[in-house]
Structure 1
Amino acid sequence: MQKGWGHSYQGSYSRRLCHAHIHLDKCFLLNNDGSHNCCRDFAEALKSLQRPKPFPSDLTDLYNRGKRLVIESIQCGVTAMRAHVEWTRRRCTEGVQAVGSAPYVEPSIAQAKRNIDLILDTAHENKLHADFHLDYNLDPTAEPLIWYLLAQLRSRINSGRWADGAHVCVGHATRLSLFSAEEWTRFRMAVEDAENQNSLPITLPGPPRATLDVPGLAREHRVKVGMAVNNVENAFTPQGTIDPLALCPMGVAVFQDGTKRGCQTLVEAVTITARKAIAARGPASLFPAKGDAADFVLLHENDSLYSAALNPSYTRTVIKDGEIVATRRADKWIRLVAQQ
């Protein structure tokens, strides 16, 4: 980020905000009917969204909620997203770029591993990326399925059963927050050994659930973690906004790292790291270079990367391929009382 843009703009810019993990069909459900109010814990929220017909069957309602999410995301500056939608068919349709599942909901470890195999097979057969909701628990006795996934990926790459350029993305993975330093070293080496330079994106589910220390993992283990909004105004996440940058000040508080280096890692987590996780095209740096595409969001009330991470500007201008595609403004006023 830098000050100034042209002759009329003052502020800073952010490179290509990204929703690496967001649910398009479960957004804006609070109070939509009597069955979707705030829940006390994760188990209750999961039960709420697993009931038969967990959200309105009206296609117009589904479309309008999804459209609202897309429009408001663009106004925030999001120019790429991986939007999850649930379906019961395994046949991949036109336009689908990734196939995924949530192995953690399976009743046994053996079935969870078969779930992973099925998704990897489907991804290979259709030349798609794979995406998993994985290891969503805080049980120190539970087997971390990330090891099985990495072993399967390495085996498939070595035997030619994995499409060139296909990436694997892992979300949630709260079990990994219990990893020791030795386990993180093992993880990084396993990823490098599999020649899968993909990052590991994970959402930030607030207390009492757990999250990975995004700046700490980058600083101490060279493991880059993407952050994503995930759910918007439903039983899982009733609070917060669509804005990926809003995760940065929350991250400063959660990870207790307000350093400039830590803040840069957090901004990268919702931009270049998030895009890499879903194999979306984009630069490898926050800072522009000659020849880069003019894709970024102008943050009118921030004058540095540091201030954008600590207190992101609401007022923004979104530029895609050199053209302004969206703006977001806030009117401000205060009543002045004349002195007697």
Structure 2
Amino acid sequence: MPPPTLSKKLTSIQGVRLPGSPSTWKIDIHYPPNSPRGIIQSITPHDVSTPRDDSVPTPLVLPALTHPHIHLDKAFVHSARQYAHLLPSAGSFQEALSFTTEAKQQFTVPDVLQRGEWLLAESVSAGVTAMRAFVEVDHTVKLVCLEAATKLQEQWKDACEIQIVCFAQDPIFSTQHGEENMDFIQKALEEHPQIDVVGTTPYVESTIDAAKQNIDWAVDRALQLNKHLDFHLDYNLDSGKEALVWYVLRSLQQRGWTSSTTSKRVMLGHCTRHTLFTHEEWSQISRIIHENDLPVSFVGLPTSDIYMAASPEQKVPHDRPRGTLRVPEMIRKHDLDAVMGVNNVGNAFTPWGPPDPLFLACLGVGVYQAGTQDDARLLYECVSTRARAAIGLSSSDPSLSDIGLKQGGCSDFLLVYDRDLTGCGVTRPCGSVAEVVWNPPATVNREVVVGGRVKRSGFVCVQNDPNHPIYVYSEK
């Protein structure tokens, strides 16, 4: 499957709506020398004297979407025929681990390429133009997933910026395969400069000491190689287990990882154990991060977390709490950098939900009881501008991560149209960020601009004419 076709470079997008404004606007795009990707040169009121085709809906323009945490190699295992015998029967975390290990024994480069293309195609069509993609490296898959990921990274580079995480899902400091797993990780890091991020899973180690060794090694290696760092961390709801976030923060402090010493960032994912923290513990985490200038972000993964993260067996059968990071509260109450990610799609860890960040933002309305218009804007940021900043692709200053388009910003946009998809001649308007989050528009009502070029849609209801009245091209 080839990557999507992109248009010629745009010099402007005209007659479009912006969040919170009743007027129409023109967005001019500039291309720096030797750069294939454009930046926003100016945003000005649309010249009303310019004739406009009223038969073409006026789109709402928003920043493009981002996957800050998604597993490329395990995507859509349930959709591939060769894994039909590995569909969930118990739905437990241990079953997911077991079935995924068994599935990995069958992974091949063509298989991972095919499922990765499914993920990329659906993600880009939804509006995703950047993603942090985890690929596992260990004694089972060796470098198979990484080889496929680097091919996809190159093939899809014009449509989506793919950050590759060399990911140790399995132990590297314990169990009979720990040493072998470490050898493959080291080999991958040495031989593949396309790797952007070092990722590990400390909680899979057999002892707490091994987990801390895992953390220290990952911090040291990422600093040495000047790469981002990403931990799957504290994935439980057991108050009796030590939360490793304190050790991660201490390790970063001891090794001098600060915003002033490196541009690379640290991401902590899942962290469901943290939902048991008191207000004082959250305040302490925030204080440590800010006082030590640590470039740390948290990513909540609600579709996986509320499905998988269960507390230990309860005495009362009906008492089965679920947990996922309370992202809006972390941002507003504790001044922490937090975002939302899809994580897994179509496998035993998360058999439900599409790879559409807007679905995730919509889910957040209910999960976080976040139903105001301000909540909707924040949730959109958490799957777009904030998510992009958290993985190090734009400014990490939260004040610069709102959804207002700005001069000098990247020219990755999601355009949302009002089109009748019912066949009844009825069109419901969608004019605000809140409406987009509360009731995400169908993919056929979305158009994506990436780096200043339009992704052509295969849907007949979408305008594909190169003379599309809202677009002005640099080349005719």
TM-score of the aligned structures, taking structure 2 as reference length = 0.65
**Distance change (3 Å), C-alpha of 1:328 and 1:232:** farther
Q: Verify: 1:120 aligned to 2:213, yes or no.
A: no
**Distance change (3 Å), C-alpha of 1:34 and 1:134:** same
Q: Provide the residue aligned with 1:337 in structure 2.
A: none
Q: Provide the residue aligned with 2:256 in structure 1.
A: 157
CA distance in structure 2 between the aligned counterparts of 1:19 and 1:153, rounded to whole angstroms: 25
Q: Alignment partner of 2:298: what SS? A: coil
Q: CA deviation at 1:293?
A: 2.7
> 1:192-231, aligned counterparts within 5 Å?
192-204=290-302, 205-207=305-307, 208=310, 209-231=322-344
Whether the 8 Å contact between 2:65 and 2:384 is mirrored in structure 1 is: yes
Q: Alignment partner of 1:71: what SS? A: helix
Q: Provide the residue aligned with 1:335 in structure 2.
A: none
Give percent identity, aligned residues only: 35
Q: CA deviation at 1:22?
A: 0.5
**Distance change (3 Å), C-alpha of 1:31 and 1:242:** closer
Whether the 8 Å contact between 1:14 and 1:298 is mirrored in structure 2 is: yes
Q: Alignment partner of 2:367: what SS? A: helix
Whether the 8 Å contact between 2:270 and 2:325 is mirrored in structure 1 is: no
TM-score of the aligned structures, taking structure 1 as reference length = 0.90
Pick from 47, 50, 73 the counterpart of residue 98 of structure 2. Answer: 47
CA distance in structure 1 between the aligned counterparts of 2:245 and 2:211, rounded to whole angstroms: 11
CA distance in structure 1 between the aligned counterparts of 2:74 and 2:68, rounded to whole angstroms: 16
Q: Alignment partner of 2:339: what SS? A: coil
Q: Provide the residue aligned with 1:256 in structure 2.
A: 369
Q: CA deviation at 1:267?
A: 0.8
Q: Alignment partner of 1:30: what SS? A: helix
Output the amino acid matched with 1:289. K
CA distance in structure 2 between the aligned counterparts of 1:254 and 1:235, rounded to whole angstroms: 22
Q: Provide the residue aligned with 2:288 in structure 1.
A: 190
Pick from 436, 441, 450 the counterpart of residue 313 of structure 1. Answer: 441
Q: Alignment partner of 1:216: what SS? A: helix
Q: CA deviation at 1:329?
A: 4.6
> 1:164-179, aligned counterparts within 5 Å?
164-179=262-277
**Distance change (3 Å), C-alpha of 1:308 and 1:330:** farther
Whether the 8 Å contact between 1:167 and 1:278 is mirrored in structure 2 is: yes
Q: Verify: 1:325 aligned to 2:452, yes or no.
A: no
**Distance change (3 Å), C-alpha of 1:286 and 1:153:** same
Q: CA deviation at 1:5?
A: 5.6
Q: CA deviation at 1:312?
A: 1.3
**Distance change (3 Å), C-alpha of 1:328 and 1:190:** farther
> 1:1-340, aligned counterparts within 5 Å?
1-2=18-19, 4=24, 7=52, 8-30=56-78, 32=80, 33-38=83-88, 39-51=90-102, 54=104, 56-88=106-138, 89-91=184-186, 92=189, 93-157=192-256, 164-204=262-302, 205-207=305-307, 208=310, 209-281=322-394, 284-301=401-418, 302-314=430-442, 315-327=445-457, 329=459
RMSD: 2.2
CA distance in structure 2 between the aligned counterparts of 1:287 and 1:250, rounded to whole angstroms: 23
Which one has a bigger Cα radius of gyration? Answer: 2
- CA-to-partner distance for each residue in 1:167-217, whole Å, 9 max, x for gaps? 111111100111111111111111112212432112112245410122222
CA distance in structure 1 between the aligned counterparts of 2:58 and 2:100, rounded to whole angstroms: 44
CA distance in structure 1 between the aligned counterparts of 2:452 and 2:106, rounded to whole angstroms: 39
Whether the 8 Å contact between 1:199 and 1:273 is mirrored in structure 2 is: no
| Higher deviation after alignment, 111-120 or 8-17 | 8-17
| Higher deviation after alignment, 173-182 or 194-203 | 194-203
Whether the 8 Å contact between 2:272 and 2:323 is mirrored in structure 1 is: yes
CA distance in structure 2 between the aligned counterparts of 1:297 and 1:154, rounded to whole angstroms: 39
| Higher deviation after alignment, 317-326 or 138-147 | 317-326
**Distance change (3 Å), C-alpha of 1:183 and 1:156:** same
Question: Comparing both chains, which one has the higher relative contact order based on Cα–Cα distances under 8 Å and sequence gaps of 6 or more?
Answer: 1
Output the amino acid matched with 1:319. V
**Distance change (3 Å), C-alpha of 1:252 and 1:55:** farther
CA distance in structure 1 between the aligned counterparts of 2:383 and 2:230, rounded to whole angstroms: 17
Whether the 8 Å contact between 1:198 and 1:276 is mirrored in structure 2 is: no
| Higher deviation after alignment, 255-264 or 227-236 | 255-264
Whether the 8 Å contact between 2:301 and 2:340 is mirrored in structure 1 is: yes
CA distance in structure 2 between the aligned counterparts of 1:78 and 1:11, rounded to whole angstroms: 17
Whether the 8 Å contact between 1:316 and 1:327 is mirrored in structure 2 is: no
Output the amino acid matched with 1:72. E
Number of positions where the alignment pairs a residue of Structure 1 with one of Structure 2: 329
- CA-to-partner distance for each residue in 1:17-70, whole Å, 9 max, x for gaps? 11111011101111532442134222221222133x535333211111111211
Whether the 8 Å contact between 2:386 and 2:402 is mirrored in structure 1 is: no
Q: Provide the residue aligned with 1:336 in structure 2.
A: none
Q: CA deviation at 1:123?
A: 0.5
| Higher deviation after alignment, 36-45 or 106-115 | 36-45
The structure where strand makes up a greater share of residues is: 2
Output the amino acid matched with 1:299. V
| Higher deviation after alignment, 225-234 or 23-32 | 23-32
